[in-house]
Structure 1
Amino acid sequence: MSLEKFADIYHRASERKGGKQQLESMLSSPLSQEQIANIPNDRWLAAFSMKVFQSGISWSVVRKKWPNFEEVFFGFKVEPLLMLSEEQWDKKASDKRIIRHHAKVKSICENAQMIHEVTLKHGSFGKMVAKWPSDEITELWLFLKKHGCRLGGNTGPYSLRQMGVDTFILSGDVESYLRSYQIFEGGKDTKRSLKAINQAFAQWQQESGRSLTQISQIIAFGVGDNQV
């Protein structure tokens, strides 16, 4: 593995984007731990559900229908959803107001159960996420994959990023960069690969003092076809 200095990564990205000021204006910042801890359970379930439905479907189509999802699924309130019977879930899966996909609708039920179980242990789902060490963020990805439904691959990380959690994203550009420097080989979702990737981002974080979110964005801006 040959780990590039973050200063060089930043320099390349700023050149491609028209300078440091332009690059900085394009970066986003994660929420604080306190803000994450205060996010209610229903918003976590809504975020996971939206990303599940957006997988393989136009994101804009899902967003356009999302007010209907909020209505059909009680604003994604966990407790009322856990009280539904199998027949009631089947009925919701065939509701014409939403995107009718039975397996994805049932994932809402399973992810509601996951959030409920986490809440019993930690007080709320947000409190658990807020306490998760940033240098072990891929372990949180694996938690979502193991205990959630259809939250593997990039679905879990994109959901976390949408909620303001400090995480990098293995987008196509970021993955290509990491592979080109042999930071990992083989499947990106294996424990071995994720550990190696996490270590690289932890090193860049120590060098730069930046969030994982911004490091991920800067890497992506420095490669691929997004040059200004």
Structure 2
Amino acid sequence: MAKPEKFSAIYQRACERKGGPDAVEMLLPDTLSAQQIKEYSDAELLSVMSKRVFQSGFVWRVVEHKWPAYEQAFFDFEPFKVLMLSPEQIQQRATDATLIRHQKKTQAIVDNAYMIQQISQQHGSFAEFIAQWPCDDITGLWQVLKKQGARLGGNTGPYFLRAVGKDTFLLSQDVQAYLKAHKLVDYGFTSKSGLQQTQDVFNHWQQQTGLTLAEISRIISLSVGDNF
């Protein structure tokens, strides 16, 4: 594993490619404070999570267009109501033409409602659980979502966290390409060792710059790849 370059050099490349610091600043993602994240209801989080599951590998605007019908079909995503659906009712929704016909992703709504309910019982609310999770171990939260939830592996879990304002980096193609090219990760990005190495590199840059993980991630992606 090589030594990370100074983040100021990465930032400079991003500025050169995008037209200066002001242009880069406009492209940086926002994050929420822990207190702001705690204000989410379990239903709101299940809705966002479910939407990200359906958007994975699918046309995002189609999912967005159909989402009001999902809110109605799944009782505004109140977890305890979703968990009252019978297998027959779940099947009916998985084949409903007004929704998206996908059995496994439809079932994931129910499975993730169960995960949220279980975690809420332990921590007061799912939002509390997410808000209190330390960002210097954000890949650990990715793993919880992947193991305890349904269809939240890969970038789906991280995209969900980003959508609700939790500070996280994303392993986009550009970010992965950078880390590989600079020999900062010796293992696969899906392995525990690879994720830990990636977390360590991002923690290093965060301590160096004071930027959020989300900002660091976006700046890296702006500094490389076909994104002029």
Residue 205 of structure 1: aligned partner: 206
Question: What does residue 89 of structure 2 align with?
Answer: 88
1:189 aligns with 2:201: no
Amino acid aligned to 1:189 = T
State the match for 1:104 in structure 2.
105
Q: Structure 1: which 4+ aligned runs deviate by more than 4 Å?
A: none
Deviation track 1:182-221 (CA, whole Å, cap 9, x = no partner) reads 1113421110000000000000000100100100000000
**Residues 37-186 of structure 1 mapped to structure 2, 5 A cutoff:** 37-186=38-187
Whole-angstrom distance in 1 between the partners of 2:34 and 2:16: 33
In the aligned structure 2, how far is the partner of 1:55 from the partner of 1:134?
24
**Which amino acid counterpart does residue 95 of structure 2 have in structure 1?**
S
How far apart in 1 are the matches of 2:119 and 2:63? 27
Q: CA RMSD in A?
A: 0.9
Q: 1:45·1:111 contact (CA, 8 Å) conserved in 2?
A: yes
The answer (yes or no) to whether the contact 1:29–1:211 under 8 Å persists in 2 is no
The count of corresponding residues between Structure 1 and Structure 2 is 227
**Corresponding residue for residue 222 of structure 1:** 223
Q: Hey, what's the Cα distance between the residues in 2 that align with 1:60 and 1:135? A: 33
Indicate conservation of the 8 Å contact 1:93/1:100, yes or no: yes
Deviation string for 1:98-153 (max 9, x for gaps)? 00111110000000000000000001111001110110000000000000000000
% of aligned pairs identical?
47
Distance 1:99 1:123 in 2: 32
Preserved CA contact (<8 Å) 1:173 1:224 = yes
Q: Which structure 1 residue ranges, 5 or more long, are not aligned?
A: none
**Does structure 1 retain, via aligned residues, the 8 Å contact 2:178–2:224?**
yes
TM-score (norm 1): 0.97
Distance 1:169 1:225 in 2: 17
Indicate the SS of the match to 2:116: helix
Aligned mates of 2:89, 2:226 — CA distance in 1: 47
Q: Distance in 2 between matches of 1:175 and 1:92?
A: 37
Shift of 1:2: 2.6
1:141-177 deviation digits (Å, cap 9, x = unpaired)? 0000000000000010011101111000000101100
| In 2, Cα distance between equivalents of 1:101 and 1:21 | 43
